[in-house]
Structure 1
């Protein structure tokens, strides 16, 4: 026994190494024990997976700290090593750190929330979830026309809130302005055409106009912005081919496609009911004259 004690006293490096290995074995064993314990007692597979990964990360971090504490000579070197480790982790995990900071920014500033329709990093969709790292969206557009779902669910890093513009279709003012052109043929009754278009627009959009007035007043009071016309407006332009009616109107951001369809349908029926007083124009080609041709007489030699 005295021999072993004497040998240990003469081998401080070996003793320190053995203590280090015992601590490593203990920590690794503790990690495995906790993983099995969580696996047996947590009902949800998602929670089990995340908890086990969390235990592994914490355990390996403890091993790193343990290793540094054993192989650095004093507390000054240990502090330096911790600083270098922290700097390395920060550089390596900067995207993750930015994502977590972005999630805090989203919740505190209320940039957007689940249910909002946004466009960020050239991706447009409805926000269906915001967690500590990702924003999950139901994508709109791409190969699908207008504001329809494509069917793809997109996960976007929250770090993007610091990297570019965020377009929110629903925060503060859940309406957007839309417009389309109506080509009216020259010779039509212009005053009748104007009345038809404006009357149909006012009747179809009356609910949106009334709802948007209070919302727009709130926006004007909150931000440095001038007042705007929310009622339907009509601008007329004379072109080489027809009289162009440009109808501009306000609509719920989720009803843009359906509203445009309804307006076009009602205006088309109203124009057809004028018995030719108002006619829609289209691009046509008019042949003024066909050059005369004279067949060659092959009997002449």
Structure 2
């Protein structure tokens, strides 16, 4: 079960690309009407002084173009109005757009199949043509077919949808579009530190899902886990260091975790993990060669990860700096000069 994104992110009042969708739809309608008039004139001579003199094959082409333009116009226009009407109720333009893409692709598959059977002239001829064409395309278009199969897997298994934050191979970002051949990501990371947006849109071939691991940060919930780790020296007051780190995390995310605790558990796919979801930050410890590692673990909204992590680190540093009993461990070397006694010198001689 998905969490509506309007609880965390501002909802756009007007879908992106609305003007272009309407423009394309109007152009398709005009071309479709023009083609339909030509087709009717060839059959019934509706337009005086207009005689194209086209044979039957060309008339069939005009009929197919008419159907294609009509379907194009209908899907564009219906999709535009569905996005406007349904997105405010669902809370996510991305979820509505992703669902409509699946429906529109299915309609296109049915329409193109009917046109193919109509053009082939019969069922047996169409089956034979499909076999011959399929064998040729499988050999020539291996990569495009692999990407198409990837799109089918992504859509059917709901690996990710528009609006999800994902990592595919070495590319990380928000999914802005899922097309038949590739997935568009609003890239994060790259040359930027952490998960800051780079401003680039990356196109990832859908076939990569068969070879690369996919990480979806927002599939079942809008929260992810994170931790901040510091190492203090063995001479430090360990209990005081633990208190400083826990207090810093509680000051930043404590109220948010308590407020959204039940909401987070409600949207987990596996409710066996309910007891493992704390309502406040927790501590972990480990021993290292040069100090004690103290980690504070917490969960937070995915889009605020770097900001919250930075704030916790700053608060921990300030608390450590103000407490002389806590010393941060860092790599260094100490030289100890040993002065042997006179007895040691004699024994050596």
Match for residue 260 of structure 1 among 309, 312, 322: 309
- The aligned counterpart of 1:114 is 162
Asked if structure 1 preserves the Cα contact closer than 8 Å seen for 2:265 and 2:277, the reply is no
Asked if structure 1 preserves the Cα contact closer than 8 Å seen for 2:147 and 2:206, the reply is yes
Q: How does 1:1-301 map to 2 (within 5 A)?
A: 80=128, 83-210=131-258, 211-219=260-268, 222-223=269-270, 225-227=272-274, 228-230=276-278, 231-274=280-323, 276-289=324-337
Q: Distance in 2 between matches of 1:82 and 1:111?
A: 30
TM-score (norm 1): 0.63
User: 5+ residue gaps in structure 1?
Assistant: 1-22, 43-57, 70-74, 292-301
Q: Distance in 2 between matches of 1:97 and 1:89?
A: 8
Specify whether residues 237 and 164 from structure 1 end up closer, same or farther in structure 2 by C-alpha distance, changes over 3 A only.
Answer: closer
Per the TM alignment, residue 98 of structure 1 is displaced from its structure 2 partner at its CA by 4.3
Asked if structure 2 preserves the Cα contact closer than 8 Å seen for 1:117 and 1:169, the reply is yes
Per the TM alignment, residue 78 of structure 1 is displaced from its structure 2 partner at its CA by 9.0
User: 5+ residue gaps in structure 2?
Assistant: 1-53, 74-111, 340-349
Per the TM alignment, residue 223 of structure 1 is displaced from its structure 2 partner at its CA by 2.7
Asked if structure 1 preserves the Cα contact closer than 8 Å seen for 2:265 and 2:271, the reply is no
Larger Rg: 1
| Post-superposition CA distance 1:123-164 (Å, at most 9, x none) | 211111123332110122233221122333111233344555
Q: Distance in 2 between matches of 1:78 and 1:197?
A: 70
Q: Distance in 2 between matches of 1:117 and 1:170?
A: 6
Asked if structure 2 preserves the Cα contact closer than 8 Å seen for 1:116 and 1:168, the reply is yes
Per the TM alignment, residue 85 of structure 1 is displaced from its structure 2 partner at its CA by 2.6
Specify whether residues 92 and 216 from structure 1 end up closer, same or farther in structure 2 by C-alpha distance, changes over 3 A only.
Answer: farther
Asked if structure 2 preserves the Cα contact closer than 8 Å seen for 1:181 and 1:245, the reply is yes
Specify whether residues 203 and 83 from structure 1 end up closer, same or farther in structure 2 by C-alpha distance, changes over 3 A only.
Answer: same
**RMSD of Structure 2 on Structure 1 (CA):** 3.9
Q: Distance in 1 between matches of 2:190 and 2:317?
A: 29
Aligned residues: 235
Name the SS of the counterpart of 1:113 in structure 2. Answer: coil
